[in-house]
Structure 1
């Protein structure tokens, strides 16, 4: 497995509500991707950045999902080109507590 971290600069003045609305609009696309194991959305208001952390079976799957068309759409949506980092993910700890 690999972890892909995608970050991008947000337009000056974009509110948290606007960012979350844009994120929510992408939920169906990511839920429909059979290769995606997990996605965590990122928002940094102090640094005016957004992004996501993705868990994929391979770098190839990540790059297929974030192809040139996706990069163009992200740049149009958020006002800057996305940046990508990839990490091997040898272990995962899940500290999920089930409600009674």
Structure 2
């Protein structure tokens, strides 16, 4: 599994209430994306940085999302360029599902 973390510094800080409204507006576009298990929208405590934490099946499926078109959408929507950082995630603990998920050895 792969974790992708996206971040973008906002031109002006926003409140959690504003972020929730904006994030709910884009959330449906991530439903049904091949290989995407979960996405967490995030906002820094000072409201100046937003982004997402994504849990993916594979790096290839993740990279299929972060295209130039996706980057342009983020830049237009939030007024800033996003960064994307990838991490290997060999083990995930999911307390809601009461599971421990692991990549194949």
> Would you call these one fold, judging by a TM-score over 0.5?
yes
Q: Which has the higher contact order (CA 8 A, sep 6+)?
A: 1
Q: Where does residue 48 of structure 1 map in the other structure?
A: 48
Q: Which protein has the bigger strand share?
A: 2
Q: How many correspondences in the alignment?
A: 98
Unaligned stretches of 5+ residues in structure 2: 99-105
For normalisation by structure 2, the TM-score amounts to 0.83
Q: CA–CA distance in 1 between the matches of 2:75 and 2:20?
A: 16
Q: Note the alpha carbon deviations across 1:10-38, whole angstroms, 9 max, x for none.
A: 12143333222111111111112132111
Unaligned stretches of 5+ residues in structure 1: none
Q: Is the 2:13–2:47 contact (alpha carbons within 8 Å) kept by the matching residues of 1?
A: no
For normalisation by structure 1, the TM-score amounts to 0.87
